[in-house]
Each structure stands twice: as C-alpha cells, then as structure tokens.
C-alpha cells in the first residue's frame, strides 16, 4: 500500500474541500429518494423550503469537513476507514440538497467556505484528541444533525413530498452513522464541548437560511 507524504495529504485535503464547496462537483452514488412527482408550491412556501434546504446543504458541507479533518488525524486505521466511508455517504446528501435547491431556483449558502474551514479544524482536533473522542464527536454531531432534520421535516409544506423524502433518508443515514460511531467505541463528550457545538450549529442554521 502506498505511503502518502504530508504534501500528498494536503493536496488530497484541498481536493476534498473543492469537491465539497464547488456546486456540481459532487455526484450521488445512490438514487435521489426525492424522485417523486413535484407538487406545486406557492412563492412563500418555495422560498421557505429553499431556506431549509440551504441550511441542510450547509450542514452536509460541515459533515464533509468534519469527516475529512478526522480522517486526516485519526490514529487507528479502522477509525480512519469509518470516517472516509461516512464522508462518502454524506456526499449523497450534499448532492441531493443541491439538486433540490436547483429545482427551487435557489443556491447554496455563500458562507459554506467559512463553515467548512471551522468544521475541518474541529474534526482535526477531535482526531488528535484520540479515536474514542473522535468517534464521540461524530456521534454527537450526527445526533444534533438528526434533531435539525426532524425539525425541518415538521416545517415542510404538507404537499412537498419531494423534500420530505430527501430529509427522511438523510435522517436515517445520520442516525446510522451515530450508532456506528458509538458501537465503535465513541464516548460522550464533555458538556462544555456539546454546548459549544450546539451554539455553532445554531449560528450556522440562522445565517445559512438567508445567506
């Protein structure tokens, strides 16, 4: 197996960042679960759904960055593989959200590069702290993402089955990632860390809805 140098890893990280941030650079490996007949949405409804999907797209950008950062610094090979596999599944979510935004004549958040950088740094630090904390960070992240998704599902217009199907599949995947991380040895994070993660998540949610 090839041994990658530090330069190789930096180039790979830059490539991963571009794929996560440049619209159209990521393709889903699974079929879009929102492949149902489109329902007519009013102007205000479409604008609201676009805001929700923009938040969820930013959340997936953050998830990509977290996994990329953790995979870069994880110590055990099996943990690194878990991070890389989860990142691949999250790429589907990224592509699905982007597709839905296009259908709603909207665009991803302009703040995504900021969220990616912050999340990559947090993921890398979690990996340095140790694999059990890295896995615990994944579990807590996915738990919070699931709560956001469930809240957004409840806010969708009743007729918007297209968005609902996408978010429901995303929620199922996030909970699976959480359980996988816990089963692999993840530990509960200290309360101050969880509070900080929640605060950053709320900031991202409130700004990405509009910008």
Q: Are 16 and 10 in contact (CB under 8 A)?
A: no
Q: Kindly report, residue by residue over 39-73, the tens digit of the pLDDT.
A: 788 888 989 999 999 998 888 888 778 777 777 77
For the segment 85-106, the average pLDDT, to the nearest whole number, is 84
Query: Is 174 labelled a binding residue?
Result: yes
Range picked from 112-116, 150-154, 191-195 for highest mean pLDDT? 150-154
Q: How many whole angstroms separate alpha carbon 14 and alpha carbon 129?
A: 23
pLDDT class of 24 with cuts at 50, 70, 90: low
- Is 20 within a domain? no
What's the confidence (pLDDT) of residue 54? 92
Q: Kindly report, residue by residue over 137-155, the tens digit of the pLDDT.
A: 888 888 888 888 999 999 8
More confident residue, 123 or 174: 174
Query: Is 177 labelled a binding residue?
Result: yes
Lowest mean pLDDT among 33-37, 82-86, 183-187: 82-86
CA distances from 74 to 65, 128, 155 (A): 14, 7, 37
Query: Is 90 labelled a binding residue?
Result: yes
- Is 139 within a domain? yes
Domain region containing 188:
40-208
- Is 30 within a domain? no
- Is 140 within a domain? yes
- Identify the CATH number of the domain in which residue 164 sits: 1.20.1260.10
What's the confidence (pLDDT) of residue 179? 84
For the chain, the domain total comes to: 1
What's the confidence (pLDDT) of residue 9? 59
pTM: 0.80
Query: Is 172 labelled a binding residue?
Result: no
């Amino acid at each position: 197996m090839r041994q990658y140098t530090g330069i190789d890893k930096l180039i790979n990280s830059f490539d991963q960042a571009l794929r996560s941030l440049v619209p159209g650079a990521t393709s889903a490996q699974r079929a879009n679960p929102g492949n149902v007949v489109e329902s007519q949405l009013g102007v205000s409804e479409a604008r609201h759904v676009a805001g929700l999907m923009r938040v969820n797209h930013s959340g997936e950008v953050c998830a990509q960055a977290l996994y990329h950062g953790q995979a870069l610094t994880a110590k055990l090979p099996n943990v690194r593989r878990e991070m890389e596999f989860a990142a691949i599944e999250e790429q589907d979510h990224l592509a699905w959200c982007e597709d839905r935004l296009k259908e709603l004549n909207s665009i991803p958040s302009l703040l995504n590069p900021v969220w990616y950088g912050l999340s990559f740094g947090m993921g890398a630090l979690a990996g340095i702290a140790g694999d059990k904390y890295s896995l615990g960070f994944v579990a807590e992240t996915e738990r919070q993402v699931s709560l956001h998704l469930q809240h957004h599902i409840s806010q969708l217009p009743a007729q918007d089955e297209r968005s609902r199907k996408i978010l429901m599949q995303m929620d199922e995947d996030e909970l699976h990632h959480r359980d996988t991380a816990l089963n692999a040895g993840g530990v509960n994070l200290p309360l101050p860390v969880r509070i900080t993660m929640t605060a950053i998540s709320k900031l991202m949610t409130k700004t990405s809805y509009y910008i």
